Amino acid sequence: GEDVEQSLFLSVREGDSSVINCTYTDSSSTYLYWYKQEPGAGLQLLTYIFSNMDMKQDQRLTVLLNKKDKHLSLRIADTQTGDSAIYFCAESEDSSYKLIFGSGTRLLVRP
């Protein structure tokens, strides 16, 4: 079945760049997403990328997709303490309502 994997934890210093990685197994994935969960809150969509794209940039966020290796990454430039949260990678197929989530990466930003 489909599987999405992420590392559990990342710690960076404020002002540095953060890179959160994700691998997935479903070759039929059409859309790949990054969601952010702050403490005590629900998930919030940060950004997404279509599978026919290699890269997407949105302000401080850069998403890179290597479809051959089924590898997705999220780079946060100039990481701030407010970026401390859990980041979830997710994928879905074109015609499917179902999102397959990874286990989440907890990002800690040190002052």
Partner 1 sequence: DAGVIQSPRHEVTEMGQEVTLRCKPISGHNSLFWYRQTMMRGLELLIYFNNNVPIDDSGMPEDRFSAKMPNASFSTLKIQPSEPRDSAVYFCASSFRTGFSEQFFGPGTRLTVL
CB 35 within 8 A of CB 20: no
- The candidate with the shortest Cα–Cα distance to 99, out of 42, 20, 26, is 26
Nearer to partner 1, 68 or 97 (CB): 97
Judged by CB under 8 A, which of 1, 39, 42, 111 binds partner 1? 42
Q: Which residue has the tokens 């039929």?
A: 28
Q: Is 92 in the site for partner 1 (CB under 8 A)?
A: yes
Alpha-carbon distance 79 to 42, whole Å?
21
Nearer to partner 1, 14 or 96 (CB): 96
Q: Which residues make up the interface to partner 1 (CB under 8 A)?
A: 30-31, 40-45, 48, 88, 92, 94, 96-99, 101-104
